[in-house]
Amino acid sequence: EAQVTQNPRYLITVTGKKLTVTCSQNMNHEYMSWYRQDPGLGLRQIYYSMNVEVTDKGDVPEGYKVSRKEKRNFPLILESPSPNQTSLYFCASRKPGTGDTYEQYFGPGTRLTVT
């Protein structure tokens, strides 16, 4: 089954404690992206990657790091989480192209709470 998986699905942590949210896709997609969703703000793009070792900032990259060492994985790293990073996080992937079959697949989401 084609899917994007994220782990963990739920996480409660404390300010300053480094954490990593993993994202993996089994569709051999070149493109991957991270979003955060906040009430009243919709989804905002944090980082995206268009290939291994190629990453770009989205609209809200501050406080986050990413890496793309393998095509299937795109972890999101919060080196010193703060309460304003409490949010619902989505990973997504797609293959390059412009047709109907080139739209993004989303993971199930990770609910992060930073106290």
Partner 1 sequence: AQTVTQSQPEMSVQEAETVTLSCTYDTSESDYYLFWYKQPPSRQMILVIRQEAYKQQNATENRFSVNFQKAAKSFSLKISDSQLGDAAMYFCAYRTSGSGTYKYIFGTGTRLKVLA
Which residues contribute to the site for partner 1 (CB under 8 A)? 31, 33, 35, 40-45, 48-50, 56, 58-59, 88, 90, 92, 94, 96-98, 100, 103-104, 106, 108-109
Please, what is the minimum distance in Å from the beta carbon of residue 58 to partner 1? Answer: 7
Please, what is the minimum distance in Å from the beta carbon of residue 50 to partner 1? Answer: 6
Strands 65-66 and 87-94: unpaired
Q: Which is nearer to partner 1, 42 or 69 (CB)?
A: 42
Please, what is the minimum distance in Å from the beta carbon of residue 48 to partner 1? Answer: 4
Give CA–CA dist 115/97, Å, rounded.
41
Q: Which is nearer to partner 1, 32 or 78 (CB)?
A: 32
Residue 76 CA: distances (Å) to CA of 23, 79, 83, 97, 99: 8, 10, 17, 25, 28
Helix (H, G, I), strand (E, B) or coil at 14: coil
Please, what is the minimum distance in Å from the beta carbon of residue 54 to partner 1? Answer: 10
Confirm if 23 and 88 have CB atoms less than 8 A apart: no
